[in-house]
């Protein structure tokens, strides 16, 4: 894939960032493939109890405490924005409480008029789950903009 021309980009790149190694790799890979200096939004979608992301650093929190979960999500999104800056993007970070997680990702993409969504899928069981994570599969199925799925390093 060659880098897209900067004038071709209408809206920002939206990174669905959950703090995982694969999500970090997705940001790095997008930085290699897309034009430098592009605007980006790094979103960490969270929900109480079944948090939906991997907190960065040594933070420990009660998954049933919405305030603590939101604070950890904000820290995770900020970490993703730092990675996006290092990859050549001009990012902002954002957290959203949503269930299911894929709906939160698509809502932010719509609200921010994203022209591309970047996801790093987590493999799940089953044939579709083997190829894509359930969140990634749902984002692809329902997105109105292109989705770049970055798979694990070889």
Rounded CA separation 130/24 (Å): 20
Q: Put the strands of the sheet holding 39-46 in their side by side order.
A: 90-97, 39-46, 13-16, 116-119, 147-149
In-domain check, residue 3: no
pLDDT per position in the chain (154 positions), as tens? 444 444 454 799 999 999 999 999 999 999 999 999 999 999 999 887 666 777 777 666 666 677 888 888 999 999 999 999 999 999 999 999 998 999 999 999 999 999 999 999 865 444 444 444 689 999 999 999 999 999 876 5
pLDDT at 63: 64
pLDDT of residue 126: 47
Flag whether 2 is in a domain: no
* Residue 117 domain flag: yes
Number of domains in the chain: 1
- pLDDT at position 53 is 76
Q: For position 98, what pLDDT does the model report?
A: 93
User: How many whole angstroms separate alpha carbon 59 and alpha carbon 52?
Assistant: 15
pTM exceeds 0.75 for this model: yes
Please report whether residue 145 resides in a domain.
yes
Q: Examine residue 154 and state whether it is found in any structural domain, yes or no.
A: no
SS (HEC) of the chain? CCCCCHHHCCCCEEEECCCCHHHHHHHHHHHHHCCCCCEEEEEEEECCCCCCCCCCCCCCCCCCCHHHHHHHHHHHHHHHHHHHHHCCCEEEEEEEECCCHHHHHHHHHHHCCCCEEEECCCCCCCHHHHHCCHHHHHHHHHCCCCEEECCCCC
Please give the pLDDT value at position 127.
44
CATH number, domain of 139, equals: 3.40.50.620
Containing domain of residue 27, as a range? 9-149
């Amino acid at each position: 894939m060659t880098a897209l021309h900067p004038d071709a980009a209408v809206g920002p790149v939206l990174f669905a960032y959950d703090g995982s190694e694969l999500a970090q790799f997705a940001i790095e890979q997008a930085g290699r493939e897309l034009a430098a200096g592009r605007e980006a939004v790094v979103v960490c979608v969270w929900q109480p109890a079944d948090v939906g992301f991997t907190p960065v650093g040594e933070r420990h929190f009660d998954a049933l405490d919405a305030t603590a979960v939101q604070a950890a999500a904000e820290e995770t999104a900020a970490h993703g924005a730092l990675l996006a800056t290092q990859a050549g993007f001009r990012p902002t970070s954002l957290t959203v409480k949503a269930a299911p997680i894929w709906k939160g990702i698509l809502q932010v993409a719509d609200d921010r008029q994203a022209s591309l969504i970047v996801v790093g899928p987590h493999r799940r069981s089953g044939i579709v789950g083997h190829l894509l994570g359930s969140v990634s599969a749902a984002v692809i199925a329902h997105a109105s903009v292109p989705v770049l799925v970055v798979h694990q390093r070889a």
